[in-house]
Structures are given as C-alpha cells and as structure tokens.
Structure 1
Amino acid sequence: MAVLRYATGSRRVPRPAPAPRRSARPNRSRSAQSRASSKPMIRRPMHAAFTKSNCRKEAVMNRIYFAVAATLALGTAACGNGGTAVGCTAESAQAPVVGIVKDQLERAISAKVRGEDGARSVSLSKIRAAIGQLVIAIDDIRTSKEDPNSTKRFCTGTLKVRFDADALADADHTRETAGLNSVSALADAADIERHADSFTTGIEFNVQPTDNGDKVFAETESGNNMFDFAAEVLASGLLRASTEESQRAAAQAEAQQTAEQNAALGEQRAANLASAKTDNQLAAQTIGATWQALAGATRQRLLPQQRAWIAKKNADCKVEAASASIDANDKEIARLNCDTRLTQERLPWLANFREEGGVSTSAGAEPLPSSGDERPNDL
C-alpha cells in the first residue's frame, strides 16, 4: 500500500554510521538543525513515490517520516549513548507519530473544504484550531519487530482520537442537512470503533533515532483509515456555518423570487379583471343595441324567452366561476368571461328577428318599462 514520504533528500532514514558524526544529516544547515531541535518537523517528498524506475520488481512504499527533538526522557528511558534504539512505548517515539496524524488531518481537511474554484471555504487557522481540540493517543503499544543490528523498531498499537462533543454534534447536523450518513455510520463504514466521543483503530509505525540521538524519526503508512475518517468528521463540522449560511441565502433568494412572482401575478390578475370588464361591457352594449333595433311587437313577444335566457346565463356563469377558482378575483374574471361569451353567442339568434314587423327607428319610439325588464342583458 502506497504511503507518503517526509524526508529531505532521500527516501529513507540513513542507517547509523559506525563513527560518530556531528549530525545524521550533513546536508542540513545549522539553522535547520536548530529548528529541528525545538519543534516537530514534517518534510515533504522530493518527488513522487512511484515511478517507472522504482517499480520494477516490487512496489516501493511511500512513507511518512516525522522527526522530533529528543527530550531528557529520551536519554534516560529509551535512547542511550551512541544511537541506542528507542522503545516503541517511549514518549519520544509516540510524539512524532501523533505529529504525523495531525499533519495528515490538516492536509485532508484542507482538500475537503475547497470549493469548485479551488479556494478553501474554511481558513487554515480554523482547521488547525479544530485539530488542536482533538485528543490523540496511541494505546496498547507492542513491539512487532526489532533487529539487533539496527536502531529501528517496528511497532503496532491502537490509534485513539477523541473529539469535542460540539464538533461531533456539528458534524452530524451538517451531514444530516446534506443528506449524508451520520458520524457513527461513517465510522462503521471505515471499520473504526466508536466509544462515546472516542474512536479507535489499529496503527503500525516504526521509530529510529538519529546517530547522535538528538532526534527521533517516526514512519507510518498513509493509508490508515483514521486519517480520512477524522478529516471527514472535522470538515463536516467546520462546514456547518458555511452550509447554514448557504441555506439562509438560498431561502432568502427563494423568498425574494416568490415575492416578485406574487407581485407579478397580482398585476396580471388586475389586468385580466380590467380586460374582462371591458369585454363584458362591450358585449352588453352590442346586445342592447341589437335588442333595441327590434320592432316593439317583436320585443314583447320575445321578452319571456329573453328573460329565461338571462336567468340561465347568470346561473351557468356562477357555476363556471365557482369551479374555476377559489380566489375571489379569479372567480369574478371567470364569471365575466362566461357572461361575455354567452352574450356574444346570443347575438345571432336575436338578429334573426330584426326583419319581423320592421325595425325600430328609435329607442325612444317604444320606451322600455321603467323597471328595465326589457333590457336584454340586465333584466
């Protein structure tokens, strides 16, 4: 399984030399040595781990290297004079492994919180602060292999990562909102055991001091399932704020769109109502003129039929309007359109009687009753 390298200038930690040296890495400047003695250092690979030249007979494993300055405990508990091997359980052996875990989490989280434009949606300082809240430990450490001719020790143990309760809650909330599985389900899928707010999985690593014993290098495989799991959990929690902000922005945009649509619909309904009223008034004027053009005797004879037609027209249009909508404005538009349509359909029937008994030359020649009962469209 391929893993990452963290070594400067070469792909492996140099074997101890028989003669004492001032430094296990002569190509390192004094300033670099000073920095190495004061804090953990991660060294990135000089080139890709797998190439055609190094994959001829077997895969060459990329590895993660981490060096820390030796403490007093290193000299008394694990690392003696002249490059004595460091025990797997020594604190100086565990510290660089924990450093590897944190470094890998930072890299993985940074990749997960980048958007399509490549920019991080969460600052690097927040990522490091979230990692700093983790409690990372290696328990049940055993020595799996040792070589009497080498100071390198191969170790195995249980990697334990404890999360802050709020970080787990934020991660679960974000994942639920996004339709993703829970943190517990994510742990199950990664073959990681959960115990309350702590998660554990196995880890293999090896440690080796430098020739002069002032630093310890640790190495572990990059494919440990805890790296991606913990990064996914922290990234989910860190993205909660941006996710909620995106949801609020989307909700505001939707509300704005709805308001604009409602305003446009209101204007449209008002225009439709005005148009329906205008068309209905024109139809009423037309049938009124047609009715007045009939001879008086013809109007008297047709009056009962006209009244019956008007009553049926009004009833039919009320039914049609009621079935068209529950909105009062839309119902009125439907009623007016129905009235206009039926009135226009009535015009040809009335026009057939214009030749009977002559045509009235004046609307006042035979005045309608004062009640207006002879008005054909409003009896």
Structure 2
Amino acid sequence: MNLKTKQIQQEMAMGKRSIVTSWWLILALGLGGCDYISALQGKKVSCSDPTGQTLVHDIIKEQAQKHLQAYVGDDGKRRFDLANIRASVSQLQYALQSIRTSKEDPNSSKVFCEAELALTVPTKVLDDANMSLEEMGGVDSTVEETLLRYGFKKSGNAANVYQATVLYSVQPTDDGKQVYAQVDNAEDLAEGVSDVLHASMSKLMVLEAKNKEQKAQAEAEAEEIRLQQEADAAIQKEILAEEARVRGIELAEEAEQKARLKQVQEENKLYKQQLNRIWSGLDADIQAQIEGAQKAWVDEKAAACKKESLSTYGTETELEIVRLQCDSKWVQKRVREYQAAF
C-alpha cells in the first residue's frame, strides 16, 4: 500500500472523528394541504407513513453528506466540493421494507419503529469503490466487507442491494403541521454509506497515487539497472585490462622464447659444425671402422633428447629448446670423446 492511499485512509478516520455525532438525529419536513393537517391533528403517525419514511431517508443522507464534507486534503481544503457530494449521495436509492411497530405509548404520539433499509448502489459506484478499496489495501477490500461492518448484508434478490435494520421513531407536532423523525442508528448506517461513497469518489485520486507509485518504482528499477550496468561495465573493463595485460605478458614471453630458441639453435649448429670438422679430419679407414657406432650414437641421441623434451611441460617452442639443449650436450660430449681418441 502506498503513502497516498494510507493518507486517504487516515483522512477518512480523521473525517469521521471530526463530526459531532449523537445517537439520534431529528429532521423535520412541513406537510402541505389543509385537509391532511386537519386529519392528522391529534392522531399518531404510523411507522409506514410516507412522510416518516422520507424523513428517515433524508436523515441518513444528511449524515452521510456531513461525513463526506469532513474529509480534507493536504492543503486543509475539503477533498470533495458540496455539489459533488450531493450528486454522489443522490445516486444511491433508499427504501424501507418490512416496516413494523416495535413500541407504542398510549400517552404519547411517538411511535417506535423497525424496518429493513434497502440500499441500492449503482453498478458504476460499486465498481469504482471496489477498485479503490482493493488498491488502498485497508481493513476492507470490497464494498460488501465495508458495509458488513455497519450492519449491512447483501440482499439475495439483487447483486447491488444491501440491507440493514434501521431503528427509528416518528411523531407529529402538537399542531399537526409537521412530523419529526428520529433514527437511533443513523450514525452507523450513514458511516457505511459515506465509506462506500468516499471510496467511489476517490477512484481518480487512488489511480493517480497508484500511477505515481508505479512510476516511482519504474524509475527506481531503471536506476538500479543503470547502476548495475555501470558496475558490469567497470568489471568488464577490468577484465579486458587484465586480459590485455596477460596477453602482453604472453606475447613478451613468446618473443623471449623465440629469441632463446634462436640462440639455442645457433649454439647447436656450432657444436655440430665442430663435430663434423673432427669427423671430416679422420682417415677414411677410421671413419669406416666407427661409422656403425656413430649412426647408433645419432639414433640414441635423438631418442634420448626427444624423451627429455616430451617430459617437459610447456609450449612447443619450450619443448624444442629443451630438445636442442639436450642435443648440444650430447654433441659436446661426443666432441670431447673424439678429441681424446683421435
């Protein structure tokens, strides 16, 4: 739940506390027609009296309107203007059903009544309110749950009708010109109505808050992605730099090995030239005598040096260096042997 919807819920609670309530409300309407006044005078008004029913409706509407007028925004101004409040309240339909007289006093003209208040909520109001309640994530997430806390139950006859017991009384004035009505549980009923209307009227504000939250979340995610990309780029840069450094070392080592190989090749060449000079200086009969041994020596030298190079771990260049160094040692030793023998 975002901060804006929390604020809306807090304002709802503050708005309710700001209303001076009482356990009963009185509303009066004048009655027209001399014949009716004359007939009414000195008699009780029944619980089913149309004027009394109208008064009950108006009391609940008036109290719901006061609740809605109490909501204020961040700037301290009313969240909803009076025209919108009245238009919103007038969208709901009220009807008293199963009207019954609960108490009568023979010494008083007041009649105590009970009835089922049928509250019809237009589909659009229901949809808007349900959407707002779900987005706000408060105690109640649906209109049905909200109204249930105030004694309303969903009617089995229609999907958008809710019923609650209303306790009221009606009484004519002494002169018979007016009728007074009191609704004992008007506060609870009106509060349920105002909660539903507040949720419905707050739809645009809730959507705006949701959009802002989604935008802020998207911006935060984009920033997180950007920072991650920068971090990845920095790591990749370090990797490339390290690869370049390693490659540089490898190239330097390769160049060094090639230079070393060339040096070893030149040394081996000189040693072989020295051995060939000694061999060329021998008499033909001596050469003929040791030619077989010389060939066997050459084969032995080649095998031994190949084995030594293959026993070494390294590049091909390094293996060739080892082989040539081995070959040079054998040649030098052979030179010393020939020099000592001949």
- Regarding TM over 0.5, the answer is yes
Name structure 2 gaps, 5 residues minimum. 1-18, 266-308, 317-321, 326-342
Q: Which residue of 1 aligns with 2:315?
A: 307
Q: Which residue of 1 aligns with 2:260?
A: 296
- C-alpha distance in structure 1 between counterparts of 2:231 and 2:166, whole Å: 69
Shift of 1:190: 4.6
Percent of aligned positions with the same letter in both sequences? 26
Shift of 1:216: 2.2
Q: Which residue of 2 aligns with 1:149?
A: 107
Residue 279 and residue 74 in structure 1: after superposition, are their counterparts in 2 closer, same or farther (change >3 A)? farther
Shift of 1:114: 5.0
Q: Which residue of 1 aligns with 2:199?
A: 236
**Given the alignment, which residue of 34, 46, 58 partners 1:99?**
58
- C-alpha distance in structure 1 between counterparts of 2:45 and 2:198, whole Å: 35
Q: From the CA coordinates, give the structure whose radius of gyration is larger.
A: 2
Shift of 1:101: 0.6
Q: Which residue of 2 aligns with 1:259?
A: 222
Q: Which residue of 2 aligns with 1:184?
A: 144
Shift of 1:151: 2.8
Query: RCO higher in 1 or 2 (8 Å CA, sep ≥ 6)?
Result: 2
Shift of 1:241: 2.1
Shift of 1:128: 2.0
More helix by share: 2
**Given the alignment, which residue of 51, 62, 69 partners 2:30?**
69
Structure 2 residue matching 1:144: 3-state secondary structure: strand
Residue 281 and residue 74 in structure 1: after superposition, are their counterparts in 2 closer, same or farther (change >3 A)? farther
Maintained 8 Å contact 2:44/2:110: yes
Shift of 1:293: 4.9
Structure 1 residue matching 2:315: 3-state secondary structure: helix
Deviation larger for 150-159 or 132-141 = 150-159
Please give the TM-score of this superposition, normalised by the length of structure 1: 0.55
**Given the alignment, which residue of 123, 126, 135 partners 1:168?**
126
- C-alpha distance in structure 2 between counterparts of 1:115 and 1:276, whole Å: 55
Maintained 8 Å contact 1:78/1:90: no
Amino acid at match of 2:183: T
Name structure 1 gaps, 5 residues minimum. 1-46, 50-60, 309-352, 357-379
Amino acid at match of 2:163: T
Maintained 8 Å contact 1:78/1:87: no
Structure 2 residue matching 1:167: 3-state secondary structure: helix
- C-alpha distance in structure 2 between counterparts of 1:257 and 1:162, whole Å: 44
Amino acid at match of 2:28: A
Q: What is the 5 A alignment of 1:37-56?
A: none
Maintained 8 Å contact 1:139/1:159: yes
Amino acid at match of 1:75: Y
- C-alpha distance in structure 1 between counterparts of 2:122 and 2:35, whole Å: 31
The size of the alignment, in residue pairs, is 250
Amino acid at match of 1:307: T
Would you say 1:208 and 2:171 are equivalent positions?
Answer: yes
Maintained 8 Å contact 1:291/1:299: no
